[in-house]
Amino acid sequence: MSMPVLALRGLTIFPNMLLHFDVGRDASIRALDRAMSEGAPLFLVAQKDLSVSEPGFADLYPIGTISQVRQILRLPGDNVRVMVEGSTRGRLLDLVRTEPYLQGEVEELEEPVQARNTPRTEALIRSTYELFEHYVELSPRMNGDVLIQVMASDDPGYIADYIAQNIPMRVGDKQAILEELRPVRRLEKLSQALSRETAILELEHDIQGKVREHLASSQRDYYLREQLKVLQSELGEGEGDSEIQEYRDKIAAAKLPEEVAEKLRKEVDRLAKQPYNSAESAVSRNYLDLCLELPWGKKTRERIQVEAARKILDAEHYGLRKVKERILEFLAVKQLAPQLKGQVLCLVGPPGVGKTSIAMSVARATGRKLARISLGGVHDEAEIRGHRKTYVGAMPGRIIEGIRRAGSCNPLLLLDEIDKLASNIHGDPASALLEVLDGEQNATFRDNFLEVPFDLSDVLFITTANTLETIPRPLLDRMEVIELSSYTDEEKLHIAKEHLLPKELKRHGLKKSQLRITDDAIREIIRGYTRESGVRVLERQLAAVCRKAAMSIVSGEGKRSNVTAGTVETVLGPRRYHPDRRDVEPQVGVVNGLAWTQVGGEMLQAEVNVVPGSGKIELTGNLGDVMKESARAALSYIRSRASRLGVEPNFYKTRDIHVHFPEGAVPKDGPSAGVTVATAMVSALTGIPVRQDVAMTGEITLRGRVLPIGGLREKTMAALRNGMRTVILPADNMGDLEEIDPDVRSALRFIPVEQVDEVLANALLTPTAQSVPPELGQVPEQSTQPRGTVDLKQ
């Protein structure tokens, strides 16, 4: 049938329901007038998009309600208030006109009739009653009469329509209920929607209750505090606030310098004038609490006894004789002159040699409390000096925080990894440490957070670093450097037996009788499974052995594990590091050099090959700029003395020289390979072989002088480890031989040199015939006699 159509925005009307609403669109008012004047039914249908002002057929839902207009009331303006009553559901088939109002073809939909409710339907109705009753309790806008009207009916379709009409729901949910013609299924959909709406109301009540409770508590606290202030003012007890008085008592009881006490008293007075819950009062409380936690004037009794300290250092560390002597000298001076201040020790050495543990032993030996401060990666000056207390989350710097943790004014502060400091736009933390480590300034150190001076002159500072190259010179000038070199294999053996193995046995719950490791097994672990200056990797390998032993005992394979040199590979797997394959016979153009690395000394062979060409020099092996310059300096030296060395004078025009250092993936740099490259070049150009039981190190100049180098202790260890018998070193390094391990010193023969000619005389062999240089690719007959009797200057 054809009838006027009224598009509803945000509304849905159900059959057998009364609904009044306002109409403002001109087309909707004309449709109402048409239906009212003719007494015709009106089709009410919801539109899909509320923003569409002139909806078409596609903008309307297909199912709506055929209704009767009961009343129209003209309101001031252009609006009309209408009351309608839904009759039956209908389907919009088409819109026959859109002007001046919507007219459509509507099909009336018949609902299936259910003669009698089944038990399942009755259960669904009762469940819906309970849900709706709970909803009415939660909803403040719901009238109790609606609940009575619902409970008076047992028609599931009517119940669903009535509840859906009277509760606020989304238009899509109401439309889904309207489009469902089966009464029981319609009630099921309503029950689901009603459960969701009830859960939402419960959450709203819970949130509102918490908000009201919080507001009531805050208001109650505020009113009570204001009343308390008034009462105290009336009784003349305005200064009697317990918190303020507690701060005053703490300031009076603490032994504070007058400047500090005055500053804190002013801060307490400022706190007393501020509201309790204000942000400023929180900042003041945090400041006062932290200042009063600092150990103002509290000192631990320092125990300075050199013999007691010697026993502690010897018991906890093996070797390190020079380091222990220097620390004991430092303590001896403190014992004779306790007032001496400003000494800062800097322990420098490769990783794992015991720098941090030495500092901890010093703290135990002196009876000072220890606070460790890690400086690795610190790039903000505020990490040292702190932030201004007005910033959100402000805290003092790491120095003051370390003092607070130690609980003493004279602790030992261990500044770990001082060479790892960085700088950025927030400042340079190394510059902030200048005042901390300067004995003339740190008595009045001012942290940005404290804003008052704190005396650091009684603090014993010990810093650790892996290298001195990255430490700024002004900062390094304030510290006394103590170098810790790498351990020899025998020292590692003693450390493993006396310290590491007992520690790992205890950690893994093993007894000494349950795991026995021979000395040869430990030596095999050191040489085949570790390559380091310290003992950290060795400790991990011993832990792996302990784990294997624990697994063997728990699984019942045996009550005891014995590890020997022959069984290490079955426990730890294949050997990781193999000794370098070294030619025993003399070689032409191959020289054994010595290099220093962060994990100890290494033997580095230099290989030189000469081929016909145009005088080019090729340098390979991942060499740095300094090492390349050393090779070119050696070439210039050889050219200047070609005739005396037995080299063709024009070799730099007719020969190409290729200098190579094996293990090209490893970067190499430094000037100490100068004599090695020069010797290899002379050997390759003259065809004279080089002794392979000789290793050398030294920097070279254009005139052939041999300059001193560093890292001699590690380099000599590498020479002994690789089977060398003789080490050629600069004469200026002879004084460093005192630092070398006695076992190494007794096993090697050292030859000091001042000129490259002396190096060649001791490294090259005397050929049987040296009338003319050999042709390229030919190796002359060799003699194993040293060349020391041949004068290369002739």
Q: Which CATH number does the domain housing residue 536 bear?
A: 1.10.8.60
- How far apart (Å, rounded) are the C-alpha atoms in residues 498 and 484? 20
744's torsion region: left (phi>0), alpha (psi -120 to 50) or beta? alpha
447 and 471: one domain?
Answer: yes
How many structural domains are present in the chain? 5
User: Are 341 and 418 members of one domain?
Assistant: yes
Nearest C-alpha neighbor of 18 from the set 63, 71, 64: 71
One domain for residues 436 and 459: yes
Give residue 73's pLDDT band: very low, low, confident or very high (50, 70, 90): confident
What's the pLDDT score for residue 581?
A: 62
pLDDT at 591: 93
Determine the average pLDDT of the residues in 179-183.
83
Distances (CA, A) of 277 to 179, 218, 220, 282, 480: 57, 10, 13, 7, 51
Contact 328, 303 (CB under 8 A): no
Do 558 and 673 lie in one domain? The reply is no
Specify the pairing of strand 370-374 against strand 412-416.
Answer: parallel
**SS3 for 357-395, per residue?**
HHHHHHHHHHCCCEEEEECCCCCCCHHHHCCCCCCCCCC
Count CA atoms within 13 Å of residue 595 on its CB side. 25
Sign of the Cα pseudo-torsion (264, 267, 269, 274, in order): negative
In a domain, 482, yes or no: no
Domain end: 226, 260, 293, which one?
Answer: 293
And the tokens for 770? 């040296």
> DSSP character for 415?
E
The phi and psi torsions of 685 (rounded to 5 degrees) equal: -75, -30
Identify whether 298 is part of a domain: no
Tokens of 138: 């939660």
The β-bridge partners of 131 are: none
Quote the pLDDT of residue 787: 35
- Which one is catalytic: 67, 485, 672, 683? 672
Tokens of 217: 């508590």
Q: Coil, strand or helix: which one is 551?
A: helix
Give the pLDDT confidence of 745-781 residue by residue, as tens digits.
Answer: 888 999 999 999 999 999 998 653 333 343 333 333 3
256 is a domain residue: yes
Q: Is residue 27 scored above 90 in pLDDT?
A: no
For residue 705, give both structure tokens.
């002088």
Residue 221 has pLDDT above 80, yes or no: no
Q: Is the pLDDT reported for residue 231 higher than 80? A: no
Question: How far apart are alpha carbons 259 and 453 in whole angstroms?
Answer: 9
- Is the domain of 496 the same as that of 452? no
Q: Are 306 and 332 in contact (CB under 8 A)?
A: yes
- Of 73, 108, 143, the position where a domain reaches its end is 108
Confidence band for 115, pLDDT divided at 50, 70 and 90: low
Residue 578 pLDDT greater than 80, yes or no: no
Q: What are the respective helix, strand and coil percentages of the chain, to the nearest 5?
A: 45, 20, 35
Q: Kindly state the percentage of the chain with pLDDT values over 90.
A: 13
Answer yes or no: is 672 within a domain: yes
Q: Which two tokens stand for residue 793?
A: 């200057």
Q: Is 322 a catalytic residue?
A: no
Query: SS3 for 491?
Result: helix
Is the pLDDT assigned to residue 393 strictly greater than 50? yes
- Give me the CATH number covering residue 715: 3.30.230.10
Q: Is the peptide bond before 100 cis (omega within 30 degrees of 0)?
A: yes
Asked if residue 663 and residue 540 are part of one domain, the reply reads no
Residue at a domain's end among 261, 293, 325: 293
| Residues 718 and 778 reside in one and the same domain | yes
For 523-651, strand residue ranges (E) read 561-563, 590-597, 600-612, 617-620
Q: Which of the residue ranges 141-145, 154-158, 591-595, 660-664 would you say has the lowest mean pLDDT? A: 141-145
pLDDT bin (cut points 50, 70, 90) of residue 67 is confident
Rounded to the nearest integer, the mean pLDDT of the chain is 82
With CA atoms as reference, report the closest residue to 347 among 315, 319, 324: 324
Q: Which residues contact 294 (CB under 8 A, 6 or more apart)?
A: 400, 403, 404, 454
Are residue 376 and residue 469 in the same domain, yes or no? Answer: yes
The rounded Cα 516 to chain-centroid distance in angstroms is 39
Report the helix count and the strand count for the chain, using DSSP H and E.
28, 24
Catalytic residue among 715, 746, 783, 793: 715
- C-alpha dihedral (430, 432, 434, 437), degrees to nearest 10: -100
773 located within any domain? yes
Helices 156-166 and 144-151 cross at an angle (nearest 10°) of 170
> What pLDDT does 769 receive?
31
527-538 confidence digits (pLDDT tens): 888 878 788 899
Residues 469, 350 share a domain: yes
> What are the backbone angles phi and psi of residue 568, rounded to the nearest 5°?
-60, -40
197 pLDDT band, cuts 50/70/90, is: confident
At 793 the pLDDT is 29
540-550 as b/e, with b when 16 or more CB fall inside 10 Å?
Answer: ebbbbbbebbb
CA distance 331 to 346: 15
Supply 375's token pair. 């400086």
Dist CA 158 CA 136 (whole Å):
18
Mean pLDDT, range 30-54, rounded to an integer:
84
- pTM comes to 0.60
What value does the mean pLDDT take over residues 282-304?
Answer: 85
CA 512 to chain CA centroid, nearest Å: 39
Q: Phi and psi for 122 in degrees, rounded to 5?
A: -60, -40
Domain that holds residue 645: 590-789
How does pLDDT run across 77-101, given as a tens digit for each residue? 777 888 888 888 888 888 888 888 8
Closest-CA residue to 499 (of 550, 535, 546, 549): 535
Distances (CA, A) of 7 to 11, 148, 172, 179, 625: 9, 32, 15, 16, 86
Interval 353-378 mean pLDDT:
87
Give the pairing of strands 102-108 and 344-348: unpaired
Interior angle at CA 786, CA 783 and CA 790, nearest 5: 100
CA distances from 503 to 507, 546, 554 (A): 6, 11, 20
Indicate if 174 belongs to the active site. no
N-to-C CA span, the chain: 131
Q: 723 and 633, same structural domain?
A: yes
The backbone torsions φ and ψ at residue 46, rounded to the nearest 5 degrees and listed phi first, read -80, 145
Give the residue carrying structure tokens 């009415």. 136
Distance CA(418)–CA(344), nearest Å, equals 13
Q: Tell me the β-bridge partners of 602.
A: 595
Q: Angle at Cα 289 formed by Cα 286 and Cα 290, nearest 5°?
A: 85
Q: Give the SS3 label for residue 317.
A: coil
Output the CA–CA distances (angstroms, integers) from residue 525 to 508, 517, 717, in the order listed: 19, 11, 17
Name the nearest CA neighbour of 394 among 258, 271, 263, 291: 291
Higher pLDDT, 438 or 768: 438
User: Same structural domain for residues 637 and 781?
Assistant: yes
3-state secondary structure of 609: strand
Residue 208 within any structural domain of the chain = no
One domain for residues 371 and 258: no
State the pLDDT at residue 377. 82
Give 81-92 as a DSSP string.
Answer: EEEEEEEEEEEE
749 lies in a domain? yes
> Could you tell me the CA-to-CA distances from 603 to 417, 595, 597 in Å, in that order?
29, 6, 10
> Is residue 162 domain-resident?
no
Sign, CA dihedral 606-610-614-620, equals: negative
Residue located via tokens 């401060």: 373
